Amino acid sequence: MKMQHLGVAALAARALCPAASADVVVFDNTDGTFVWVEENVDGQDPTYLDITQPSTQSGAASGRSLWKYHEVPYGTPHWNTWDLRSQTDSALITEIAPVTIEDEDGGAREFWFLRGLAIGDVVGPDSTFRNRGYSEVSNGYTDPPVHVEVGLPAYVGLSVLIAGETHYGWLLMDESYRPLMWGVRDRARYAGHHRAGSRGRGDAPRGGSRPTSAPRGRGGVSSRRGASSAPDSSRGSGLARCS
């Protein structure tokens, strides 16, 4: 079945900004020290990720934690979904419009998908933030079957409250939604803009120097079946490259 992009232009991986911001704290998890366990409908307890903490964090919930949720179908409609969720003091960048998909009974459901970012894409107050963003949705009982997903590996943009101030950051996930690295500004600045992949102080990847490029992500939402609405394809105009 032919893959389609739902009105979203693919974003190529971009070079790192030549000058790293000294106020960006980066934590590395490429060795898998932090294991991100998903929550599911069977009652499996998740581990919680706080992007202001290193990979040695306990996985306990905090007011700005993120966690993964897997919805398994046990009846009609047969939605099989994966999403990221955030607590009160954090939020995720999503597409600027939801994707509406019909189930096997003709019922419509809206899904706000995470927005896959590339290095150099701006994270800031002009982004669309929500406390929940889908990474993958499928339903094998529709005709044809539905499979919509965010192109990974990719960066996910985030905001967190620290001492009552909004700080912006990012999380790099691989094709299996494992968290490889994350970063956040440790100071709030005017307008608070931040660029995905910006590196300052913090942990360097173990066993070597900091990488100079990001994994190439598909950077959009792709589908194996058409949807009745799609994110606005004009969204790329709001992104900025490193100068």
pLDDT tens, per residue, the chain with 243 residues: 323 332 222 222 222 222 334 478 999 999 999 999 999 877 789 999 999 999 999 999 999 999 999 998 888 999 999 999 999 999 999 999 999 999 999 999 999 999 999 888 989 999 999 999 999 999 999 999 999 999 889 999 999 999 889 999 999 999 888 999 999 987 654 334 556 666 554 433 332 222 223 333 444 565 544 332 222 322 332 222 222
Produce one character per residue of 38-63: b if its CB has 16 or more CB atoms within 10 Å, e if not: bbeeeeeebbbbbbbbbbebebeebe
- State the amino acid at position 20 in one-letter form: A
pLDDT of residue 88: 92
How far apart CA 227 and CA 199 sit, in angstroms, is 37
pLDDT of residue 216: 39
Other C-beta atoms within 10 Å of 125: how many?
A: 11
Domain ranges of the chain: 4-229
| The pair of three-digit structure tokens given for residue 45, joined into one six-digit string | 């307890």
Whole-structure pTM value: 0.73
| The pair of three-digit structure tokens given for residue 26, joined into one six-digit string | 């980066």
The enclosing H or E element of 161 equals strand 154-162
DSSP letters, 24-43, are EEEEE-TT--S--PPEETT-
| The pair of three-digit structure tokens given for residue 142, joined into one six-digit string | 């529709």
Q: Say if residue 144 is preceded by a cis peptide, omega within 30 of 0.
A: yes
pLDDT of residue 11: 26
pLDDT of residue 212: 25
